[in-house]
Amino acid sequence: MDKKEISKIIENFAPLNLAEEWDASGWVVKTKDNKDIKKVILCLTVTDKIIKQAILQKCDMIISHHPLFFVPFEYKTMNIYCAHTNLDKTKGGTTDTLINLLDISESTSIGEFLRISNYRISIKDFTEKLSRISNNLRIVNNKNVKEISKIAFCSGSGSEFIQQAFEYGADAFVTGDIKFHTAVESPIVLFDIGHFESEVIVLENLKRLLENEVTVILADEKSPFKTIY
């Protein structure tokens, strides 16, 4: 399949005009050859390990979620395409995928990145649901809340939206990468499921988009953080 057609499929799902101005979504490396793409590998982040996997698996293209703002010379022989903040914002993107995995049927878009759902559930039961997605779950519950009813979601690093979620009436927020002082000051319950865990789930959506056109494999990729028991 022509590489431009592959990027067109992705952009029809997650249009580039949704991407933030500072973002680097789109083509990272487009090789000069006109060879058809027969096999792609999907990943969250392009690293040396991912490049090696792509070569070993004889892939013609890498599609990642996280962008590369600097491209090492040794990466420039591989077609690399990124869908980042456009994939976060689009319907069916990263945050919507997370919500669907939790069997929450309805959500409302707030601003550009947030989703909010009316969903009454005990802290205990919701924690159990989230633990099926992430084994790196952390909880902030400054007011010892037992039950929540309006939950905000933002996959990735969404702690900057805590106040916005609170102002829209959310009593809980699910995201990743929450820092200490942010946690201490939070007016609502926070569930930090990890940056990696909250986003890697969207790769299955990209796989479904492309697998009828080319061979698609998921990279062997893990969070850099390890939970020590």
Mean pLDDT of all residues belonging to the chain: 96
What secondary structure does DSSP assign to 2-46, as a single string? -HHHHHHHHHHHS-GGGS-TT---EEEE--S--PPP-EEEEESS-
Question: 210: which residues sit within 8 A by CB, 6+ positions away?
Answer: 6, 9, 10, 40, 63, 216
The confidence score (pLDDT) of residue 157 equals 96
Q: What is the pLDDT of residues 179-210, one digit of tens each?
A: 999 999 999 999 999 999 999 999 999 999 99
- The encoded tokens of residue 17 equal 């005009």
Question: 22: which residues sit within 8 A by CB, 6+ positions away?
Answer: none
The confidence score (pLDDT) of residue 228 equals 77
Q: Where do you find CATH 3.40.1390.30 in the chain? A: 3-87+200-218, 89-196
3-state secondary structure of 145: coil
Fold annotation for 3-87+200-218: 3.40.1390
pTM of the model: 0.94
Q: What is the pLDDT of residues 13-72, one digit of tens each?
A: 999 999 999 999 999 999 998 889 999 999 999 999 999 999 999 999 999 999 999 999
Q: Which amino acid is at 28?
A: V
Q: How far apart are CA 212 and CA 84, in angstroms?
A: 23
Which sign, positive or negative, has the C-alpha torsion 52, 53, 56, 58? negative
Asked if the model's pLDDT at residue 111 lies above 90, the reply is: no
Asked if the model's pLDDT at residue 229 lies above 80, the reply is: no
Q: How far apart are CA 182 and CA 190, in angstroms?
A: 10
What secondary structure does DSSP assign to 47-105, as a single string? -HHHHHHHHHTT-SEEEESS--SS--GGGTTSEEEE--HHHHHSTTSHHHHHHHHTT--
Lowest-confidence region among 122-126, 149-153, 173-177, 225-229: 225-229
The confidence score (pLDDT) of residue 217 equals 98
The confidence score (pLDDT) of residue 121 equals 98
Q: How far apart are CA 171 and CA 181, in angstroms?
A: 19
- CATH 3.90.1150.10 applies to domain 89-196: no
